[in-house]
């Protein structure tokens, strides 16, 4: 069950009127590669957990995205998908294999970036938590990376500010990064408020010894915001040193706040240190919209073989339930999130893991075991 030390709900979760359990309308976008394996697995488990919690069944809508949408609609993220997403309470996004799309799609902003930008999903919350008996490199890892999702070195790909990459000649490529006080303050408040629900420690990750203006501003603004949270301890590391500490001492971190690209890379590392990239969940959110999305990609090397680990997508979906529970003050949907997490815990503890965690379960077999476990937690 969820405890204060493992909380992942953040300040983007808006206060809301107490309205009790309602029927949630959620969209699913399967994506590419292992997406059509891990997303349906998560839907099945959410349905079971919602039933076990006595909440109203979720109303699901499937929407086109990715390679199949290119083939059918000539767009990887069709306008009709974006319009439909605006009508639902939240959604599950499977990974996309955008690096393998044909041109011109490969050179466009990818589906995640398109959706993050369209809905202003500025906070990317990425927990890394080791399971008991779960193949962790560092036992006891239980941290959350709070990744700024709109700026940094992914600027043109993901930002509202619009600098980014350019090629003045075919032999020269230039990359701009952007860090603003406003976006940094916003994400820093997310991190400090989250830390208050956990172990009250925030680590700022930057590269201010080299990228002095950009990541130096990020560090300094985070420190300034931290003064408003005197009960939260602050330290900071350069990104290169942070990777070293993470590999050896991941169990010593609580909340890490960092810019976009560092957060992307660090969260893959943290997931693997906690047991596997395949267990690393995330939620992308603003005050009004939220998207559950595994931290990993479409894993084309294992796609179609029913061996992908669905845990990252399942736990991302549980994070979405928790976000909805806070938004609508809905105890039943919070209970459903607890059930999902406890059922995954139990299934892993009983040894039914996929090959990336050293087990022999299939993706679908693991999901079936979690569904069964929802009745035992």
Ligand X SMILES: NC(=O)C1=CN([C@@H]2O[C@H](COP(=O)(O)OP(=O)(O)OC[C@H]3O[C@@H](n4cnc5c(N)ncnc54)[C@H](O)[C@@H]3O)[C@@H](O)[C@H]2O)C=CC1
Ligand Y SMILES: CC(C)CC(=O)C(=O)O
85 binds, among ligand X, ligand Y, none (CB under 5 to 8 A by kind): none
Structure tokens at 30: 């399967």
353 binds, among ligand Y, ligand X, none (CB under 5 to 8 A by kind): none
Residue with tokens 């032999």: 171
Shortest distance, position 264 Cβ to ligand Y, whole Å: 5
Cα distances from 357 to residues 95, 133, 315, in angstroms, run: 20, 9, 16
Q: How far apart are CA 110 and CA 302, in angstroms?
A: 21
Shortest distance, position 294 Cβ to ligand Y, whole Å: 9
- When the beta carbons of 9 and 110 are compared against ligand Y, the nearer one is 110
316 binding ligand Y? (CB under 6 A): no
Size of the site for ligand Y (CB under 6 A): 4
Q: What are phi and psi of 237, to 5 degrees?
A: -135, 150
Residues 34-93 that bind ligand X (CB under 6 A): 34
Q: Exposed/middle/buried for 340, CB within 10 Å: 0-12, 13-18, 19+?
A: buried
110 binding ligand Y? (CB under 6 A): yes
Residues 108-127 that bind ligand X (CB under 6 A): 112
**Of residues 1, 16, 100, 375, which one binds ligand X by CB under 6 A?**
100
Shortest distance, position 238 Cβ to ligand X, whole Å: 24
- When the beta carbons of 12 and 353 are compared against ligand Y, the nearer one is 12
In the stretch 306-345, what mask flags binding to ligand X with x, by CB under 6 A? Answer: --xx--x---------------------------------
Q: List residues with catalytic annotation.
A: 154, 207, 240, 264, 268
Report, in angstroms and rounded to the nearest whole number, the Rg of the chain calculated over CA atoms. 20
Residues that bind ligand X (CB under 6 A): 34, 95-100, 112, 277-278, 293, 296-302, 308-309, 312, 356
Residues that bind ligand Y (CB under 6 A): 98, 110, 112, 264
């Amino acid at each position: 069950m969820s405890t204060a030390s493992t909380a992942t709900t953040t300040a983007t979760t808006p206060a809301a009127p107490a309205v009790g359990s309602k029927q949630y309308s959620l969209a699913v976008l399967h994506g590419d590669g292992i997406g059509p394996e891990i997303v349906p697995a998560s839907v099945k488990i959410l349905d079971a957990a919602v039933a076990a919690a006595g909440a109203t069944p979720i109303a699901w809508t499937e929407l086109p995205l990715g390679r199949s949408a290119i083939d059918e609609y000539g767009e990887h993220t069709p306008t009709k998908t974006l319009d439909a997403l605006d009508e639902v309470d939240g959604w599950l996004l499977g990974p996309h294999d955008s690096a393998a799309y044909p041109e011109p799609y490969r050179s466009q902003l990818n589906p995640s970036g398109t959706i993050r930008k369209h809905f202003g999903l500025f906070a990317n919350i990425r927990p890394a938590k080791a399971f008991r008996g779960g193949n962790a490199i560092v036992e006891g890892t239980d941290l959350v990376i709070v990744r700024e999702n709109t700026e940094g070195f992914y600027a043109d790909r993901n930002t509202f500010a619009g600098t980014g990459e350019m090629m003045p000649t075919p032999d020269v490529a230039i990359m701009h990064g952007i860090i603003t006080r406003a976006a940094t303050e916003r994400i820093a408040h997310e991190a400090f408020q989250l830390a208050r629900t956990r172990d009250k420690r925030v680590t700022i990750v930057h590269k201010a010894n080299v990228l002095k203006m950009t990541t130096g501003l990020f560090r300094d603004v985070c420190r300034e915001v931290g003064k408003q949270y005197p009960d939260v301890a602050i330290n900071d590391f350069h990104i290169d040193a942070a990777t070293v500490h993470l590999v050896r001492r991941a169990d010593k971190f609580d909340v890490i706040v960092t810019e976009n690209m560092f957060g992307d890379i660090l969260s893959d590392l943290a997931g693997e240190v906690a047991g596997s990239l395949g267990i690393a969940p995330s939620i992308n959110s603003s005050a009004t919209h939220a998207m559950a999305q595994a931290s990993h990609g479409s894993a084309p090397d294992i796609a179609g073989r029913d061996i992908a680990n669905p845990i990252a997508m399942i736990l991302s979906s549980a994070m979405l339930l928790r976000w909805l529970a806070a938004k609508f003050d809905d105890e039943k949907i919070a209970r459903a999130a607890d059930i999902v997490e406890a059922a995954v815990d139990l299934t892993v503890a009983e040894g039914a893991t996929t090959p990336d965690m050293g087990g022999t379960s299939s993706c679908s077999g693991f999901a079936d075991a979690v569904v069964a476990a929802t009745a035992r937690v």
